[in-house]
Amino acid sequence: MQCSDHTRVHAADVMQGVYYLVTNYVPCSLSSNNTRPPPNPNLQSRGTVAQIDAPEGSECASGIISQRMPEFELMALLLAAAMHDYDHPGKTNAFLVTTKDPLAILYNDRSVLENHHAASSWRLLMRADCDFISNVLDPIEYDRLRFLVLETILATDLVKHKHYCLLMCHKVSQLIMLITRLRINA
């Protein structure tokens, strides 16, 4: 049964939203000035995406995420965005676990919906009439794409949100310390 909030329109909306976020300017959150820079006369076009280079000496690279992201990973992110709620039953993980739903039993009460979305959508991609991937990727690329897509879908479990935020803050702190050390040693 398809949940009315998790339809093909929702999948397309999320995929378009992710595409917008990774192909449009994102201000640097490490600097005190989080405003968009004035229009750059040296703007270069990259397809439909404007390229903004970080000013020399800036503390971090503001700009467009997709320009700093390998195209393969961008493809995986967009594919995961389209697949992230596939075959949603319209119930929460907590409800499925509490009611001992067969999906909760199958996935051992852990990220039940996310595991279901990942498994069922990948199963759909493996059907001969839906497989647009295996003939264009070598086996190593295919496995890497599958890993990235599945990990991205599994990361949508909001129970893990705080963990991911703390992990990201730790990585940003490490980056700031590295930049500071490099400046001191320069």
Residue 170 is among the residues annotated as catalytic for this protein: no
The DSSP result for the chain, as a single string, is: ---TTSSHHHHHHHHHHHHHHHHSEE--SSSS--SPPPPPTT-EEETTEEE-PPPTT-SS--EEGGGGS-HHHHHHHHHHHHHTTTT--S--HHHHHHTT-HHHHHTTTSSHHHHHHHHHHHHHHHSTTT--STTTS-HHHHHHHHHHHHHHHHTT-GGGHHHHHHHHHHHHHHHHHHHHHHHHH-
Of the candidates 6, 84, 88, 117, the residue annotated as catalytic is 6
Nearest 5°: the CA angle 144, 73, 156 is 90
Query: Would you say the C-alpha torsion 75, 77, 82, 84 has a positive or negative sign?
Result: positive
Give me the residue label for tokens 């009439």.
129
C-alpha to C-alpha distance for 66 and 25, rounded to whole angstroms: 10
Q: Which residues have a catalytic role annotated?
A: 6
